A and B are shown apart, each in its own frame.
Chain A
Amino acid sequence: MTAILASFDPPYWLSTVIKVLVVGAVVPTTALILGVVFLFKIMSWMQSRLGPQEAGPRGLLQLLADGVKFIQKEDIAPNGADLWVFKAAPLVVLSSTLLLYVALPASAHLVVENLDVGVFYVLAISSLSVIGVLMAGWASANKYSLMGALRAAGQLIAYELPMVLAVMGVVIQAGTLSLNGIVFAQNDGAVFGWTGIGNPYILTQFIGFFIFIAAVQAELTQPPFDMPVAESEIVSGYQVEYTGFRFLIFFLAEFATAFVFAGIAAVMFLGGWAVPWLSANSDWYYVLGPAVLFAKVMLVSFIIFWVRFTYPRLREDQLQSFAWKFLIPLALVNIVVTAVLKVVF
């Protein structure tokens, strides 16, 4: 089985079709999985309530039922809306998510495009979604939307820099910008000469991991950094005028982005699709890789959503001072220390 997969070398047109189909299938599936597991099940477990019970076994199909409901709904646009921009905005947000999946490796070869500058690409593409958010906020002709969009734009500056600086430590340690290269480096690594668990970078880059998760939380607009969509202040911000499947696209993009960021965190800090006791060059990773990555993604997602369900919301200016006065200096110190240690050892 693995040998067949390893020798599978389709022509360009076929591989392109397969890649498009896979990304098109994976994005909604991952969003559904995260939505059901965390938003419904884990959240209701943490809040001592039952959660959905009726649709499907143990209510597991509730999100599917919700999706069908959203598709059935009327497509409403406000009177004063800038129609083209209003309708394009969710697609811009979703396309940013789709492009993120391009670089996420599920094994050495199971990746849509194995980019040499994967880290750089991911960080650049992830900020595209803010353009969609700004479009949505501006075109909705709603004051709450506008405030939400402007908050999102302000937030971008605050968290994008710590995020970039946080992964620099990993890049320095691995010596490569390629996401697969980082996985290989962790798999081949050793902790003080002991190769038992390789060298997952969370051991050395725990500060980077903390900053990265904090920045991801802001990128996903989840508490404590959910000011752009704060329900109790600006009533879901830029999403307020969206109904039906346009809202569904926002929802899909949010959870699919959560999945892909958890995946990137897993790749950069937890060893990605590889397990320490099996060499990363093994053919077994054609089937094992996605499963290992999925398990690690669920672990990181649990942390992300645990924080989401627990903490209250900061204020926009408090996020700025948190980012500029705490996260960025911390990340810079982390880079300096990593660089020095890299040279010393």
Chain B
Amino acid sequence: MTAVSDPSSIADLAAEATDTRVNLDFESEGMTLNMGPQHPATHGTLRIVAKLDGEQVISAEPICGYMHRGYEKLVEVRTYPQINALINRIDWLGSFANEVPFILAAEKLMGVEAPPRAQWIRTILFEMSRIANISLFLGDFGLQLGGMTAGFYAFRDREHVLNMIEAATGGRFHPNFDRIGGLKDDLPKGWIADSHVAMDKLLAFCDEMEDLLVGNEIFQTRTRGIGVIPAEIALSYGLSGANLRASGVDWDLRRDGCPPGLVYDQADWKVWTHPDGDCFARTWVRLQETREAAKIVKQLLDTIPAGPVMAKVPRIIKVPEGEAYVATENPLGEMGYYVVSKGDLVPFRVKIRSASFNNISIVPWVARGAYVPDLISILGSLYFILGDIDR
């Protein structure tokens, strides 16, 4: 026997031990616990059918589809500008980030490129929606682990970034601001200075969260070593975003494969990874990402070029025949649109690759052998948005 120190092998062994005990040692009748569709820890209408032995989870199966709205079908009968308003509702916490990959795919097919100022503002708003999304995660994860106050602090400080998004786009949650070939409008007066202030407040919020929640001993007891996902398992389940980086895989679409139209190469920033792969690592990586996003925004705000925000595009948009897939690093992970056009007013087929759907596919693997409270930690730290799972 050799000592096991690698957390991933420990997780494997624990899961194997559960299997052995359940199958051989004694026949316990067990209990099937149906968590959801209405359950406070499932952010909406995800259903988890968990087989329990006492408080230990023997198997957990996520069942999705309770909020399926059929977006992939709906977009086939809508013109490209109309689709833009619809796909805002996929990941409803970071709405602007949903528009960008679709618009970029359409731009790729049409062969137009947004002017530099539009690209800058796009990237800034993209990062702002990342902050709006992940800052809520930090509070909500605290809420799920029983720390009520963190949730309210997150709602309070998320307001700063939502105010800036609203000031620029007119919409707090669903901006519908991105256009093929640029943006709907230029920035309002004084927006850049206000955004600097808002980003400073967000950075202070991150420090506060680190003090209040992530640094808390009880929080660490509840998350460290829980729900360990090794790198190879994470890759084989198609995880992306912070969930993948928390397993030690240094992969970020903003840096490795940023599509033209976003200007991440113009800012100095860092991709954070964590070697542990547990619930704590996922939270920590997201906390760092929020900080990085605020830094990116601050840098880009200083370097916005002058010029128009809209390229010359025809009044009635017809996308030429062809296929394009564009994916970006959204708050929840890789989000991509595969657009097939037959040269019509409407796309022939759109396949939406949303991050959460793949991210929760690992739940059966990672929940094996965990306890019921750990299941909440795991679900919370994997961080999914129901709209992003069911589309």
Per-position 1/0 for B153-165, Cβ under 8 A of A: 1001000000000
Chain A residues near B146: list those with CB within 8 A: 223-224, 226, 230, 232, 311-313
Query: Taking the nearest CB of chain B, how far is it from the CB of A243, in angstroms?
Result: 16
Chain B residues near A318: list those with CB within 8 A: 221-222
Cα(A46)–Cα(B372), bound, Å: 30
Contact B144 A232 (CB under 8 A): yes
Known: A224-B146, A310-B149. A315 touches B40 (CB 8 A): no
Query: Taking the nearest CB of chain A, how far is it from the CB of B287, in angstroms?
Result: 15
Chain B residues near A311: list those with CB within 8 A: 146-147, 216, 218
**Considering only CB atoms, which chain A residue lies closest to B150 in the complex?**
A312
Per-position 1/0 for A326-341, Cβ under 8 A of B: 0000000000000000
| Residues of chain B from 21 to 57 with CB closer than 8 A to chain A in the complex | 31, 33, 39-41, 55
**Considering only CB atoms, which chain A residue lies closest to B377 in the complex?**
A315
Taking a contact as CB atoms closer than 8 A, the residue among B39, B55, B222 that contacts A312 in the complex is B222
Contact A49 B143 (CB under 8 A): no
Query: Taking the nearest CB of chain B, how far is it from the CB of A139, in angstroms?
Result: 17
Contact B31 A232 (CB under 8 A): no
Chain B residues near A233: list those with CB within 8 A: 41, 372-373, 376
Cα(A302)–Cα(B96), bound, Å: 43
| Residues of chain B from 217 to 247 with CB closer than 8 A to chain A in the complex | 218-219, 221-222
Query: Taking the nearest CB of chain A, how far is it from the CB of B211, in angstroms?
Result: 11
Chain B residues near A227: list those with CB within 8 A: 373
Residue in B33, B148, B152 with the greatest tally of chain A CB atoms within 10 Å:
B148
| Residues of chain B from 96 to 115 with CB closer than 8 A to chain A in the complex | none
Cα(A41)–Cα(B221), bound, Å: 30
- Answer whether residue B374 sits at the interface, using C-beta atoms and an 8 A cutoff: yes
Query: Taking the nearest CB of chain A, how far is it from the CB of B227, in angstroms?
Result: 13
Contact B222 A315 (CB under 8 A): yes
| Residues of chain A from 199 to 243 with CB closer than 8 A to chain B in the complex | 223-224, 226-227, 230-235
Contact A313 B222 (CB under 8 A): yes
- Answer whether residue A147 sits at the interface, using C-beta atoms and an 8 A cutoff: yes
* Interface SS of B by simple majority: helix
- Answer whether residue A143 sits at the interface, using C-beta atoms and an 8 A cutoff: yes
Taking a contact as CB atoms closer than 8 A, the residue among A47, A144, A310, A315 that contacts B373 in the complex is A315
Cα(A90)–Cα(B284), bound, Å: 42
Cα(A226)–Cα(B148), bound, Å: 12
- Answer whether residue A72 sits at the interface, using C-beta atoms and an 8 A cutoff: no
Known: A224-B218, A231-B40, A235-B39. A315 touches B149 (CB 8 A): no
- Answer whether residue A48 sits at the interface, using C-beta atoms and an 8 A cutoff: yes
Query: Taking the nearest CB of chain A, how far is it from the CB of B37, in angstroms?
Result: 13
Taking a contact as CB atoms closer than 8 A, the residue among A231, A312, A317 that contacts B371 in the complex is A317
- Answer whether residue A309 sits at the interface, using C-beta atoms and an 8 A cutoff: yes
**Considering only CB atoms, which chain B residue lies closest to A236 in the complex?**
B40
Contact A48 B147 (CB under 8 A): no
Contact B40 A235 (CB under 8 A): yes
Contact A230 B149 (CB under 8 A): no
Known: A47-B149, A223-B147, A312-B147. A143 touches B373 (CB 8 A): no
A residues near B (Cβ < 8 Å) are 46-49, 143-144, 147, 223-224, 226-227, 230-235, 309-318
**Known A48-B153, A143-B31, A312-B142; 15 more pairs at CB < 8 Å:** A47-B153, A48-B152, A144-B33, A227-B373, A232-B144, A232-B145, A233-B373, A234-B372, A310-B212, A312-B147, A313-B147, A313-B373, A314-B218, A315-B221, A318-B221
B residues near A (Cβ < 8 Å) are 31, 33, 39-41, 55, 142-149, 152-153, 156, 212-213, 216, 218-219, 221-222, 371-374, 376
Return 13 A-B CB contacts under 8 Å, by A number.
Answer: A224-B146, A226-B146, A227-B373, A230-B146, A232-B145, A232-B146, A235-B40, A310-B147, A312-B146, A312-B213, A312-B218, A317-B371, A318-B221
